[in-house]
Chain A
Amino acid sequence: MIEQLIPILATTLAAATPLVFAGLGELVTEKSGVINLGVEGMMLVGAIAGFAAALHWGVAGGIVAGAVAGALAALPFCFLTLSLGTNQPATGLALTIFGIGLSAFIGQFYVSQSLPGLQPYAIPLLSSIPLLGPVFFEQSAVVYLSYLAFGLVAWMLARTRWGLILRAVGESPEAAHAIGYHVIGIRYAATCFGGAMAGIAGAYLSTVYTPLWVQNMTAGRGWIAVALVVFATWKPARLMLGAYLFGGMTILQLHAQGFGVDLPSQLLAAVPYVATILVLVLISRDRKVLLLNLPASLGKPYISGG
């Protein structure tokens, strides 16, 4: 029984990895007080850039290209919302629509091509731990990168001066400005980091998870990432939990369809979304925790005064 579970759990991790990257990036962005609804668009831009680059320079080149493309896609959003003070949700929606269109336009030249993908690499010693080893440590290098990203983001937010500044700017840009921080600059950096992470998520999809380009291949994962951040009450560990839950439900419902469960496939396909949101709503019920972690200035334009 356990042996049958291992591949299911291992594929769960692989399915969750794009959400981990995109979610962690959006979490950092939102902690600085900026809500970027363009995650889906930035993921798609990262996916096509990563795919094109991987054709020449392999998966590593693809991931780097995805990160760069994602960060570049975030730049016009930064300029509009942070420098010009436009409405963040509206501008983010525009970025998503832009990303869908741009990636489809560039992608038409890549439709019939495919990539070799990336073979899993079993980490010596760690992978021989029973059950956990094959699940967590016989994955592709990009999945390991996602563990590292989680560790770094969690550590940065909780333990470093950078994390503290980020939280401070997100809570009260006025106070941060008064004690001498460059609020707009910090928000540019956080938003571009979010873009880069979304780009990596997209590039992982197009070069590792399903190594080919399909129009609109992110299939709403960007939106799930945005929702995960909120329901995870801006806590990295809860975000990981949510992402893996979503990944798990995605794989489970595929198996359920395979076993011929007597339910319309559309309904089954909706299960991961419903289940993830349900669980996260339950754990984020406590309003106090929510308000303590919510970046108080989230979505509000900050115009530097004085």
Chain B
Amino acid sequence: MSVPLSPPEIPPRLALWHVTKRYPGVVANDDVSLAVMPGEIHAVLGENGAGKSTLMKIIYGAVQADEGHLVWNGQEVRIANPAAARHLGIGMVFQHFQLFDTLTVVENIALALEGRFDLKTLALQVRAVSEKYGLPLDPQRLVHSLSVGERQRVEIVRCLLQNPQLLILDEPTSVLTPQAVRKLFDTLRQLASEGVSILYISHKLDEIRELCDRATVMRGGKVTGETDPRQESAASLARMMIGRELPVCSAPPYHGERRPVLQVQGLNFRNEDPFCASLFDVNLSVNAGEVVGIAGISGNGQAELLAALSGEQVSRPDAVLIEGAPVGHLHAGQRRNRGLAFVPEERLGRGAVPAMTLAQNYLLTAHRQPSLRRHGLISRTRAREFAARCIERFDVRCNGVLAAARSLSGGNLQKFIVGREVMQEPKVMIVAQPTWGVDVGASAFLRQTLLDIARSGVAVLVISEELEELFEICDRIGVLAGGRLSEPVPREETDAEQIGLLMAGTQQQAA
């Protein structure tokens, strides 16, 4: 993996000149230029909403630029659609995999290829390519039975079979264990050494510094820097990416009484649906004053565990206890009455009703707050007052309490939803993927909020795919893999490596 110091007569594999793309009300890409050399691993670094995805869609032909030029191997080109991009030799590994669950691996791959339709020969090719690049795959397995890591391999092998000259990977490590990330990097380096250019989209600074030869940093649709990431520190890259220092959370010690508030005992859930997971004998205890994290890749029982804890799915009465009282048989509303707060993963649709105002959304869970009632009825005026207080206290950027939930950015809406739950002074707070798709500033704020309420005596449970996040805020970390939860261990006694092995546990992902 040497830097290709190509002589000037070799044109870049792909060059973008002054590309601009406008959407109503927002300029997604503003005068973006970028060049990728043959065999180069080039990072595009930026926060959510920085314009990375739009830029990749333009390169892959899914979106057309309003202005600017694309030059491919020295020739100006127009990429009208994804098929045209593939013809040029551009392959894309999507962040949200574009796979078909009920088809086999080889069928999924055949769909993206042209030429003779011969699944037997193709299966052999799939095996050959997957072995060559260290991406073991069984061509005959149905995709729904694969782990997330294996699905990503399908996407990569599908691209490789088209002999791409440029491979685009969009946030490829967000769902991988640390061990799987390392294997992916080996594969990418091997490809680069064979002359394939790689565009690596990410917001993870350490990965980019480890893997990439060049980095183009974007912020607010503009290029804010181009650099050799290996020469930069995480802090200097972060400054380019967010325009200031990377915020850090502070976790003060807790001095209150350590009694278990949320307990789960021998929780089982058998799922009939072959596309969903089951839970096997889950045991867990969260004390007042601490943050417990559950790591693991979605699809390993996360949704089922959340449903069982929130009360969307009822169970044996003594499978779930709040302050020692059995609540397993109670429904979501009844559990909330007993001091449980729950922030689901999907903000729009489950955390908040998109078309309703913030004041109305505030009422959705806060209607049981006594201070909102007058003569036994809900007071709308007070609801608005409290929503306004929530907006102020949690720094929600919006057009006031009458703004529709859907008009807020992901980070601001999440701050509002978390704020709404915090203001009801819960005893237990369960949060799923607290900072998914949230910008760095709001993420730091949310993490600090969770730490603060824990230290005020609340038992906080966080389920997240982001290991760094869990290591930043959690006192103890467990892993949910294949529907089984490992015993949460203190953060100081473990590391990403160990957690990664547990995540891969029943998934043969580290195989």
A contacts, CB < 8 Å to B: 160-161, 164-165, 167-168, 171-172, 174-176, 178-181, 287-288, 291-293, 296, 306
Contacts and interface: CB of A to CB of B under 8 A. Distances in A.
Contact of A292 (B57, B63, B81, B102): B102
B274 A172 contact: no
A168 B272 CA distance: 24
Interface string B97-108: 111111100010
Q: Which of B98, B99, B111 has the most CB of A within 10 A?
A: B111
A291 B273 contact: yes
Contact of A296 (B57, B81, B102): B102
B274 A288 contact: yes
A168 B100 CA distance: 6
B110 A161 contact: yes
Interface of B: 57, 62-63, 81-83, 86, 94, 97-103, 107, 110-112, 117, 142, 272-275
Nearest to B61: A180
A159 to B, nearest CB: 9
A306 B63 contact: yes
A212 B275 CA distance: 50
A167 B112 CA distance: 14
12 contacts: A161-B110, A161-B117, A165-B111, A167-B103, A171-B100, A172-B101, A178-B98, A179-B111, A179-B112, A180-B86, A291-B274, A296-B102
A306 B82 CA distance: 11
Contacts, number: 60
Contact of B81 (A174, A180, A287, A288): A180
B102 A167 contact: yes
Contacts of B103: 164, 167-168, 171
Given A291-B275, A306-B62, A171 B111 contact: no
B210 to A, nearest CB: 29
A296 B143 CA distance: 14
A292 B143 CA distance: 11
A167 B110 CA distance: 13
A287 B82 contact: no
Given A164-B111, A180-B82, A287-B272, 5 more contacts: A174-B98, A178-B62, A291-B273, A291-B274, A296-B102
Contacts of B101: 171-172, 296
B262 to A, nearest CB: 32
Given A287-B272, A288-B274, A175 B99 contact: yes
Contacts of B81: 180
Contacts of B82: 178-180
B83 A178 contact: no
A176 to B, nearest CB: 8
A287 B270 CA distance: 14
B385 to A, nearest CB: 40
B23 to A, nearest CB: 11
B274 A292 contact: yes
Contacts of B86: 180
B148 to A, nearest CB: 15
A285 B62 CA distance: 42
Contacts of A293: 102
Nearest to B104: A164
A180 B98 CA distance: 11
A181 B86 CA distance: 13
Contacts of A176: 100, 111
Contact of B273 (A167, A168, A181, A287): A287
A172 B100 contact: yes
A306 B111 CA distance: 21
A9 B101 CA distance: 41
A168 B102 CA distance: 9
Contacts of A165: 111
A171 B102 contact: yes
Contact of A175 (B57, B100, B117): B100
